[in-house]
Amino acid sequence: MPQYVLTRGGDERIADVAPLGGGLYAVTIDGRSVTVDARIVEESVCSLIVDGDCYEVHFSRDRDVYTLLIGGEHYRVAARNRRVRAAFSAGGRLLTGRQVVQAPMPGRVVRVFAEPGFAVKAGDPLLVLEAMKMENQLRSPVDGMVVELEVVAGQVVATGDKLVVVE
């Protein structure tokens, strides 16, 4: 069964995912199993129905890591391959070093909380992106320092645009 590493702030969880066919998946996280109905509704947006609750998920992909925006929360998902297993067994982290925060969807930057030189912890807010009439707070994926800020309040961005770099 394929395994994925879910990361939010400093919290990591392992998800076992088994395709059931027809867009349905059996997903087990922390011993809790649910059936998920997943459908792509447009480029970089999917709909998930989990136990009758519907979620709109905006996503972008950078090699083997997906960045998800769900209800204003920023997540990272990676396939748990040999490299990731080795890092976990050695006590390593999935996300380390220089992290580029990209726009998960097109939108307008409403507020910027960080600037170059600011120390941040994983999960600290970096900026607010307004998309489809919703404000989405983008958070630091790692502890570190903001080394680049590529946007200002009021700026319009496209999916995948570099917004902030944290090291």
3-state secondary structure of 82: helix
In this predicted structure, the answer to whether residue 131 has a pLDDT above a threshold of 90 is no
More confident residue, 7 or 45: 45
Q: By mean pLDDT, which of 20-24, 75-79, 100-104 is the weakest?
A: 75-79
Nearest to 18 by CA among 35, 41, 43: 35
Q: 14-17 contacts: CB < 8 A, separation 24 or more?
A: 14/80, 15/77
**pLDDT tens track for 91-107:** 444 455 678 888 888 89
Number of separate domains in the chain: 1
13 confidence band (pLDDT: 50, 70, 90): confident
In this predicted structure, the answer to whether residue 83 has a pLDDT above a threshold of 50 is no
* DSSP notation for 121-153: -TT-EEEEEEETTEEEEEE-SSSEEEEEE---T
pTM summary value: 0.50
In this predicted structure, the answer to whether residue 8 has a pLDDT above a threshold of 80 is no
Place of tokens 């090291």: 167
For residues 60 and 102, is the Cβ–Cβ distance under 8 A? yes
What's the CATH code of the domain at 28? 2.40.50.100
22 confidence band (pLDDT: 50, 70, 90): confident
Place of tokens 């297993």: 85
Averaged pLDDT score across all residues of the chain:
81
Q: What is the model's pLDDT at position 96? A: 58
Kindly tell me the burial class for residue 69, based on how many C-beta atoms sit within 10 Å of its own C-beta (0-12, 13-18, 19 or more).
buried
The one-character DSSP state at 9 is T
Q: Tell me which residue range forms the domain holding 133.
A: 3-166
What is the helix (H) or strand (E) element at residue 32, kind and residue range? strand 32-42
Residue 12 bridge partners (DSSP): 7
More confident residue, 132 or 127: 127
For residues 50 and 41, is the Cβ–Cβ distance under 8 A? no
**Angle in degrees, CA 121, 150, 63, rounded to 5:** 75
Nearest to 79 by CA among 90, 64, 92: 64
Q: What is the model's pLDDT at position 88? A: 41
